[in-house]
Amino acid sequence: MKIKNFFAPTGISFAQAAPQVTHLGIGAHQDDLEIMALHGILECYQHSSKNFAGITCTSGAGSPRIGPYADYHDQQMQELRHEEQCQAAKLGEYLFVAQLGFSSAAVQEATKHDLADALHKLLTELHPQIIYTHHPLDKHPTHRAICRAVIEALRRLPQAQHPQQLLGGEVWRSLDWVIDEDKIALDVSTHLELSEKLLTVFQSQIAGGKSYDLAAQGRRYANATFATSHLVDQATQVTYTIDLMPLLKKPQLTLGEFALGFVDRFRKEVEREQS
C-alpha cells in the first residue's frame, strides 16, 4: 500500500525493514507512540536484534495551538508534526515511522473501514512479536477508534500471524485504577534522558499549549511510586498497559464488553474492600 509519509533513519525501504520489525507501535497522533509505546522504543534502542517501528494514523491537523504556533494553519501544522515525528524516530533509532495521514473525523466513523483496511495491508507484511496501541478505555475518541481499527485489522489475519503480545497503553486515561491482576506494569526506567527528549521533540504541542512532556513523565513516576504501599520502589518510571489478546482469541467479544469487564472487576474489588 502507499504510505503518505514513510521515514527510515537509515534510509532503508519498507520492504527491507518489514522483516526486521520486532516491536510495533500503532498510535493515533504524532507523539502518542512516545507515550504509550515507550516500552517498545526503549526495549529496542541500540539493541542488536530488536527493532521498533511506528505507525501514526492521523494527519496532525486540528491540534490546539497558541504562542509561536497560534497563526499556523492546518497544512502548516501537519507538516510540522510530521517532521517532529520523523525527528523522534531518528532520535529513538526507530527502524521506521509510517504516517498514514487519515483525518480524525474519518477514523472515528464506525461505519468506515478505510483505516482497518490500510492497517491490514501493512500487517500482512509486518510480523512483530509485540504490538502497542491505545486501549479501549481511553477517553479520546480518536484513540478508541485506532484501537478498534487495530483489532479489526488483526482479526482478519490468520491466527498464526497474530503477535505474541497486544498491549493497550495509557495516554488520555490512566490505568492505575485497573485492578492489579488486570494491568501489566512495564518498567521504563532505562534511558530516562532519551525518554524526556522523545517528548520535547514535539514543540508544536508543548509550546502550543499542552505540557505532554511533564504530564507523561509525572504519570510514569507516579505509577512507579504508588504501585505498592509496603515495598520500596522497584522502578523509577512505569507505564501501565492492558492485555488486548483476548479480543483476538475471542472474535465475538466486542470492545464494549471487553472494556466494561475492567470496570466490573474494579467495582467488585471495591465492594470487597468495603464489606
CATH (domain of 193): 3.40.50.10320
In a domain, 178, yes or no: yes
CB 30 within 8 A of CB 86: no
Residue (of 88, 110, 85) closest to 99 by Cα position:
85
pLDDT at 65: 67
pLDDT tens by residue, 14-61? 999 999 999 999 999 999 999 999 999 999 999 999 999 999 999 987
- Give how many domains the chain has, as a whole number: 1
Q: What b/e readout covers 75-86, taking b as 16+ CB neighbours within 10 angstroms?
A: eebbebbbbbbb
In a domain, 108, yes or no: yes
Residue (of 170, 181, 106) closest to 137 by Cα position:
170
For 17, the domain range is 5-210+240-274
In a domain, 221, yes or no: no
In a domain, 128, yes or no: yes
In a domain, 12, yes or no: yes
In a domain, 217, yes or no: no
Q: Exposed, middle or buried, 272 (CB in 10 Å: 0-12/13-18/19+)?
A: exposed
- Region 64-88 average pLDDT: 85
Lowest-pLDDT range of 69-73, 80-84, 232-236, 241-245: 69-73
Residue-level length of the chain: 275
pLDDT at 66 over 80: no
pLDDT at 74 over 90: no
pLDDT tens by residue, 152-183? 999 999 999 999 999 999 999 999 999 999 99
pLDDT at 73: 79
pLDDT tens by residue, 200-242? 999 888 887 789 999 999 999 999 999 887 777 888 999 999 9
In a domain, 234, yes or no: no
- Average pLDDT score, the chain: 93
pLDDT at 2: 62
CB 242 within 8 A of CB 180: no
In a domain, 215, yes or no: no
